[in-house]
Structure 1
Amino acid sequence: MSILVTGATGNTGRHVVAELLERGRSVRALTRDPRRAESLLPAGTELVSGSHTEPRSLEGVFDGVTGLHITVTAGVAETGPELVRRAVSAGVERITILWGGYVGPAENAVAESGVAWTRLEPQEFMSNALTWSDSIRDESVVREPFDLPSAVVHEADLGAVAAAALTEDGHAGRAYNLNGPQALTTRERVAILAAALGREVRFEQLSAGQAIERLTRSGVPRADAEYVIGWHADPPVEARTPDGTVDRILGRPARTFTEWVTEHKDRF
């Protein structure tokens, strides 16, 4: 029996796939472009064409599937309930859902599905630092509006927690706040990057308005840009306070930002 992973080639989905394969599970990866996905996902992954934002494209995709991982992206907030209905009707017994930052229609549909479910609630990913890669390479500078602490979580740890919830007992009906082992300010993360790169990287502070304009110029709708910058202006306590959830679930320490930088420093 297989576990279907939606958003399988994304920032977190590929880690869910890898962790499930590591556990010896049969994994079916849902992707719009199976040919491209071949180069992004581990050998042994079954690739199927379709999109979780278009449930009508999923005819036959759930055949033989007993577990499902959903990543809530822009379109899934609306299509999530139909996706969940189709999955449960096809015999899916466990669902994990990576929330979209709040409990919306997709998250509620999972909680009301009648099957074992687990909601994953990361606050901020370590990989958000990749948005600094161009300015670090070109100018040795990071420009952000705030210098507040955030217990960023390694996206591979989220993948491992999802795999645990899909393959182990004891996680049903739980909502897990997921964060990393340290609350680091922006300057502290920049310093860790600079040390790994062996060169100076400056931090330059933007105003909130400048940060919003930067996002809108990149194509982000203004309302979304204002929400993102507003969140960073006053992060919730869950984002600032390491709580050890990853450690307890996985039986090992959560990965540090220094480890993440070591893995990705070639991109800076």
Structure 2
Amino acid sequence: MSRILVTGATGNVGKHVVPQLAGAGLQVRALVRDPDRAKLPEGVEAVKGDLSVPETLEPALKDVESVFLIWPGFAAETARDVVEVIAAHARRVVYLSADVEDLADGESPTLFHQEVERLIRHTGLSWTFLRPVGFAANTLGWADQVRQGVVRWPYGEARRSLIHEKDIAAVAVHVLTSAGHGGGKYVLSGPEQLSQAEQARIIGEAVGREVRWAELPLDVAREQLLAAWGDTRFVDGALAGWGAFVDTPERITDTVPKLLGRPALTFRQWATDHAADFR
């Protein structure tokens, strides 16, 4: 029986991938920083490792056929070494990338994911790239403001097709457990385009309180993001990308329904699933 290694096993996407694979009777190994603290389903093997320290991957990759690769953050310093180690042991990699064809030029995530994809393509691995648009889970960053009833952020009219992390996980499991996906570049989106102001309102409805939108001046937003992220290029690229969705809404794809045989989950469903996180 083939063994699958899942990195980012306790994160937003990985925590849904691991139990689905294990529930299907597959041998699953989870790469975690602290096996003693990782809450994993019964039968899942936890192995200590860190992508920022590529040599720690060797034990985790023993007898592994497929890897679901989720990168923590956007630092690519160890990407080449990590990809080489994976290629030396596994036969297939499914990489959680980003919609690299639809992000603003020069945006740090774009450059990072493009580089990792390039490294993977130049190995002998069979590969599949999952390229989700914006994560619905990113709106969790508004949680404190939602509790106060007002979300203050720029580009309230930017229209996004945010995807539920459960759909990303379901696609990952489908790709990992079925044939015919080698060389696939799957752009994944939600089923609708909603403005950021509409997203805030829907979150409020799920929580049971009125939440209104207050447009934050761009210069104030930039100062806040620089304080939080510290990377000028990343901040300016992210703001430019969000601003572009005002005139050109984020695209919707039919990839999720085609692969899963059901509609993609709506943002309202995501908000309902996460209502407790905003209370």
What CA deviation, in whole Å up to 9, does each residue of 1:86-132 have, x standing for no partner? Answer: 22222x12111112543433211212222221011112011111011
Indicate conservation of the 8 Å contact 1:76/1:106, yes or no: no
1:238 offset after TM fit, Å? Answer: 9.4
The TM-score, its normalising length taken from structure 1, stands at 0.91
Mapping for residues 1-268 of structure 1, pairs under 5 Å: 1-38=2-39, 41-74=40-73, 77-90=76-89, 92-99=90-97, 101-102=109-110, 103-137=113-147, 139-146=148-155, 147-235=157-245, 240-268=250-278
Q: Which residue of 1 aligns with 2:104?
A: none
Query: Matches of 1:58 and 1:134 in 2, distance apart?
Result: 37
Matches of 1:72 and 1:203 in 2, distance apart?
A: 32
Q: TM-score of the superposition, structure 2-length normalised?
A: 0.88
1:236 to partner: Cα distance: 10
C-alpha change, 1:109 and 1:260, in structure 2 (3 Å) is: same
1:239 CA displacement? 6.4
Worse-matched range after superposition: 76-85 or 249-258 = 76-85
Question: C-alpha separation between the residues in 2 aligned to 1:121 and 1:10?
Answer: 17
| Off by >6 Å, runs of 4+ in structure 1 | 236-239
The Cα shift of 1:48 comes to 0.4
Q: Could you list the per-position Cα deviations for residues 139-179 of structure 1 after superposition, in whole angstroms to 9, with x for gaps in the alignment?
A: 11111101211000011111111111111112110111110
Q: Residue 50 of structure 1 contacts residue 57 of structure 1 at CA under 8 Å; is this kept in 2?
A: yes
Task: Please report the RMSD computed on the Cα atoms of aligned residues, expressed in angstroms.
Answer: 2.0
After superposition, the C-alpha distances for 1:56-82 in whole angstroms (9 at most, x for unaligned) are 122321111100011133465232222
**Is the contact made by 2:146 and 2:200 (CA closer than 8 Å) also made in structure 1?**
no
CA distance 1:96–1:160, shift in 2 (3 Å): same
| Residue 37 to residue 185, structure 1, CA distance change in 2 (3 Å) | same
Deviates more, 1:21-30 or 1:140-149: 21-30
Counterpart secondary structure, 2:159:
coil
